[in-house]
Amino acid sequence: MSVLLPLYRTATVLGAPAISWYLHRRLARGKEDGERFHERKGEARRPRPTGPLIWVHGASVGESLTMLPLIERLLQAGPELNVLVTTGTVTSANLLRDRLPPGAFHQYVPVDRRTYVTRFLDHWRPDLVLWAESEFWPNLVTEPAARGIPMILVNGRISPESFAGWRRYPGLIGTLLAGFTLCLAQAEQDAERLRALGAPAVKNAGNLKYAVPPLPADAAELGTLKSAIGERPCWLAASTHPGEERLLSEVHRDLKAAHPGLLSVIVPRHPERGPAIAQELSALGLNVARRATAEPVSEATDIYLADTLGELGLFCRLCPVVFMGKSLVDLGGQNPLEPARLGRAVLFGPHMWNFPEITEKLVAAGGGRTVTDAAELAAALGGLLADEAAGRRQGDRALEVAESEAHVLETVIDELRPFTDVLGQRTTAP
């Protein structure tokens, strides 16, 4: 065991007052769920269901939604199973409330103090743990393994930055990865990094993001919006982050003269930023309508700010061209398969290091295009708005990429079968 692990555990014990202060500060800022705050301390208000229980963890929205097709298949294959899904954000909890299938339920993941993790495990007693992507909290990872609970890393990903960081602490990451019975990487490069960091059993199973179905949308709402917009040209900036909205306002100004009536739709990744974004863009002289406050789209509207939760699929269907946010700022980008799966032409900035393989495939197939700054985005977007046929061709190629690895879910299910079959046998054992 790495000497850093005992030091970490000691720090979380001695730092209990600071951790408590930090959590209550997050609670005051609306970043924690006041009604379910006890779950972050490992407490549960519902009993453990009878029968086998699989614990699935995804850090936030992206990871948890990626796991949904897998959860559905597990429950179909074993109706006696129960699936506990944990995440750490209020946004992900709200989305999963509407999208989890029967047999699955959500809890907030406990903060990584050993006391909280032990309390969580004592109550739920999972028979199998499926861990999504790359969130390696020391206590959450080592405690199930210490109890002999099989742990499998699913859709494992190690970014270049994380790889460089973990290599400075080989003993600690080696200890953490040793707790995984199997690591299923989402790409060969991730598999190589996991092996280099000490994971004992690694396979490249493919990226489960290819198995996620199209984002949902309300058909009636889509019809209402189409009627309100009419023949106006429109485009979507999806999952934007701080620093990007001002750049996108420049793009709108650059294109408005050449495309009269242009409507720019902005969906911020965090809807609670809506008031601040509206204030910023209005101060720049733009007419902004906020969806969260039911402000209608009028002929004078420049920016439709869709600061609501769970409606990205609606606006991807509304707009033929989609720019993926978090990529003009150096934060790693958002999942470009979401608009690609709906046949939309996709544009993204230079910082897509969270999705390198998907980005490369989209660019190579002609379904996506990288722009380096706001000026290049305006040029690329202007060309697609002017040539609708070219936009449709790019969208068709993006859809081909999105559908190219639909088999990945079957591959992952096959790798999990030795572990899930054992769970099924336990239900018939005396």
Query: In the prediction, which pLDDT does 255 show?
Result: 97
With a cut of 50, say whether residue 238 has pLDDT above it.
yes
Q: Which helix (H) or strand (E) holds 396?
A: helix 388-402
Nearest to 335 by CA among 269, 414, 392: 269
For residues 277-298, give the mean pLDDT. Answer: 97
With a cut of 70, say whether residue 426 has pLDDT above it.
no
Query: How sure is the predictor about 295, in pLDDT bands with cuts at 50, 70 and 90?
Result: very high
CA atoms in the 13 A half-sphere facing the CB of 238: 31
- For the chain, the structural domain boundaries read 4-207+407-425, 219-402
Q: How far apart (Å, rounded) are the C-alpha atoms in residues 161 and 132?
A: 18
Query: In the prediction, which pLDDT does 1 show?
Result: 58
Query: In the prediction, which pLDDT does 263 show?
Result: 98
Q: Do domains 4-207+407-425 and 219-402 have the same CATH topology?
A: yes
Query: In the prediction, which pLDDT does 211 show?
Result: 95
Query: How sure is the predictor about 31, in pLDDT bands with cuts at 50, 70 and 90?
Result: confident
Burial pattern 56-72, b for ≥16 Cβ within 10 A else e, equals bbbbbbbbbbbbbbbbb
With a cut of 50, say whether residue 237 has pLDDT above it.
yes
Of 424 and 318, the structure prediction assigns the larger pLDDT to: 318
For residues 315-336, give the mean pLDDT. Answer: 97
pLDDT in tens, 364-383: 999 999 999 999 999 999 99
With a cut of 70, say whether residue 424 has pLDDT above it.
no
CA pseudo-torsion sign 186, 70, 216, 395: positive
For residues 268-291, give the mean pLDDT. Answer: 97
Pick from 13-17, 329-333, 348-352: least confident: 13-17
CA dihedral 413, 416, 417, 419 (to 10 degrees): -160
pLDDT in tens, 127-163: 999 999 988 999 999 999 999 999 999 999 999 889 9
With a cut of 90, say whether residue 274 has pLDDT above it.
yes
For residues 216-235, give the mean pLDDT. Answer: 96
Q: How far apart (Å, rounded) are the C-alpha atoms in residues 216 and 270?
A: 18
pLDDT in tens, 187-202: 999 999 999 999 999 9
With a cut of 70, say whether residue 270 has pLDDT above it.
yes
Q: 219-402: which CATH topology? A: Rossmann fold (3.40.50)
Query: In the prediction, which pLDDT does 423 show?
Result: 86
Architecture of domain 4-207+407-425: 3-Layer(aba) Sandwich (3.40)
pLDDT in tens, 154-188: 999 999 889 999 999 999 999 999 999 999 999 99
**CA gyration radius for the chain?**
23
Query: In the prediction, which pLDDT does 425 show?
Result: 54
At 421, the amino acid letter reads D
For residues 229-256, give the mean pLDDT. Answer: 97
pLDDT in tens, 42-88: 999 999 999 999 999 998 888 999 999 999 999 998 778 999 999 99
Strands (E), 95-173: 104-108, 128-132, 151-156
Q: How far apart (Å, rounded) are the C-alpha atoms in residues 150 and 123?
A: 17
The Cα angle at residue 172 between residues 167 and 173, in degrees rounded to 5 = 55
Cα 31 to chain centroid, rounded: 17
With a cut of 90, say whether residue 106 has pLDDT above it.
yes
Q: How far apart (Å, rounded) are the C-alpha atoms in residues 309 and 306?
A: 9
Q: Which residues are catalytic?
A: 63
Residue 146 burial class via C-beta count within 10 angstroms: exposed 0-12, middle 13-18, buried 19 and up: exposed
Strand order in the sheet with 182-185: 104-108, 82-87, 53-57, 128-132, 151-156, 182-185, 202-204
